[in-house]
Structure 1
């Protein structure tokens, strides 16, 4: 997340050692792994993608940095994450992205392993075909120009037909719903909206291997962060059967912003999430995994 609110969190984060009651709905916490690295570029992770049965990780930071890594596991526990490479995300002109233009937030990996990235400082979606290559910015409709400056495209997902879906963190329809924008390869449309509930704001989205649409949401509380995970079945461009899979109290997790839904070797449905530490010493990078119901 573009860190305009970072200073406002410092006093609250001093108290995040306290954990409030947590409500878990048919899910199971598998692991909380604290990922540490001393490199100056490390941190600020806003999106994650898990591949190869849970062994490979792709992440981006909100300072336009792409990271690939190998996850070492012992059963359901992560015992280490080995960084394989890291690259700056380049503009369409081949320049390193900085400031608002470099506020990269969401990631979607296509079937050809190319990557789409959403940005919220300057509202846009870009296609990134290979590491260290220039991005191609998708056409931007007029609606994108009027979105909240620091509350647009934190979330990005891709369905099994290769269509992209993005949703806004703060901008809402006149009725207060969360608009969903879809790119079908030639044009943008708004096929459906999602209900906004309470103070939670969407920060990541994913189509799971079960075909359902998952949205990770975050709320900033006085003593830290709260996390909520919802999912829907999308039938004829209509969201149905809304479920709340996870809703935590403050302080259980750090600032979870990235989400990946995948099946492990036992065909169990998993959610892997990563936190944005805002490059603050008071926060930390967590990789959190839950077992989800089918």
Structure 2
């Protein structure tokens, strides 16, 4: 049973997040293959439950989807990026799967469904599926020039793959993430992997931000791992929120998705705009909160974010949730316009 809000669902959600998932997806015994999956998508027209308001700070809610499927593999969606703005996408699940699909919009530009969705297990160099979760706990994703860069937790690494929706192979390269390995907590690694603004000081280089690997001052480890100004920096930790994803905005600022949960308050999500000039080697990056939402809103365990420009010029922010393969949680897609006034 799914509860839209209330103390009972909050307690169950927090217990699930703390003590583990309800079940694991099926593991293939032989060579992996692409699995077509049918997605049922229920439209979400209100972000705040029971209220028709659309504006939340500088963010305007466009619409959303609650996604379900009969496939045991579907879920645990931890990061995604659009290959075509607002349309075709690629993503990673923290159970060691790639996923691909196409987001569909209606005549009013609201998200209306998911088409051509398919999943494929991550494989080793012999093409065999990797069955140990600690080896394929994929959390962060960046895409550029046909290359997918993935951040993994537990077995901490940042690896690159050639994008082939019909047959994703093993990584062809592993990158130095610069932060000392002993500073990265086992389950608090690089959930943000993103390319900087191509015209900014980092010239499109990769930037990684950990979920909750803290330095002695309590700030969150991050690094610029490509470009002319490579180096380690930190992000100011603001309250009890951890970082689950991020993407650079066209003006060079970094938009971060953050999450918190507690047994008493349930889950919360937040969007924070980090000033681009503070993303520098040795600096403590910081910036204002744009929006915060709790379980009185249509949220869940929000883990994935992408930024894109709509055909009419609107700056869009898209979010997805990770249901942890639990019947107590939901797979959500949410879409907003970010107004720059």
Within the candidate set 189, 196, 210, 2:251 is matched to: 210
Is the radius of gyration larger for structure 1 or structure 2? 2
Per the TM alignment, residue 211 of structure 1 is displaced from its structure 2 partner at its CA by 2.4
Within the candidate set 241, 266, 275, 2:321 is matched to: 275
Q: Does residue 45 in structure 1 map to residue 87 in structure 2?
A: no
Q: Does residue 29 in structure 1 map to residue 55 in structure 2?
A: no
Per the TM alignment, residue 208 of structure 1 is displaced from its structure 2 partner at its CA by 2.2
- TM-score, length of structure 1 as denominator length: 0.86
Secondary structure at the counterpart of residue 235 of structure 1: helix
Contact conserved, 1:270 with 1:292, CA < 8 A, in 2?
Answer: yes
**What is the 5 A alignment of 1:278-293?**
278-293=324-339
Structure 1: give runs of 5+ residues left out of the alignment: 11-17
Within the candidate set 186, 189, 208, 2:231 is matched to: 189
Secondary structure at the counterpart of residue 100 of structure 1: helix
Within the candidate set 300, 309, 312, 1:266 is matched to: 312
Between the aligned partners of 1:205 and 1:167, the Cα distance in structure 2 is 8
Q: Does residue 163 in structure 1 map to residue 226 in structure 2?
A: no
| RMSD between aligned residues | 2.9
Per the TM alignment, residue 188 of structure 1 is displaced from its structure 2 partner at its CA by 6.0
Per the TM alignment, residue 39 of structure 1 is displaced from its structure 2 partner at its CA by 1.2
Between the aligned partners of 1:172 and 1:108, the Cα distance in structure 2 is 23
**What is the 5 A alignment of 1:1-294?**
6=16, 8=18, 24-74=56-106, 75-92=108-125, 94-97=127-130, 98-110=132-144, 112-131=145-164, 132-135=168-171, 136-139=173-176, 141=178, 143-159=180-196, 160=198, 161-184=203-226, 189-190=231-232, 192-221=233-262, 222-235=264-277, 237=280, 242-252=287-297, 253-294=299-340
Contact conserved, 2:235 with 2:285, CA < 8 A, in 1?
Answer: no
Between the aligned partners of 2:319 and 2:259, the Cα distance in structure 1 is 12
- TM-score, length of structure 2 as denominator length: 0.75
Name the CA shift for 1:208/1:89 in 2 (closer, same or farther; >3 Å). Answer: farther
Structure 2: give runs of 5+ residues left out of the alignment: 1-12, 21-47
**Whose relative contact order is higher, 1 or 2, with alpha carbons under 8 Å and at least 6 apart?**
1
Secondary structure at the counterpart of residue 300 of structure 2: coil
Between the aligned partners of 2:256 and 2:158, the Cα distance in structure 1 is 18
Between the aligned partners of 2:61 and 2:78, the Cα distance in structure 1 is 21
Total equivalences in the alignment? 283
Name the CA shift for 1:128/1:266 in 2 (closer, same or farther; >3 Å). Answer: same
Per the TM alignment, residue 7 of structure 1 is displaced from its structure 2 partner at its CA by 5.6
Between the aligned partners of 1:9 and 1:208, the Cα distance in structure 2 is 36
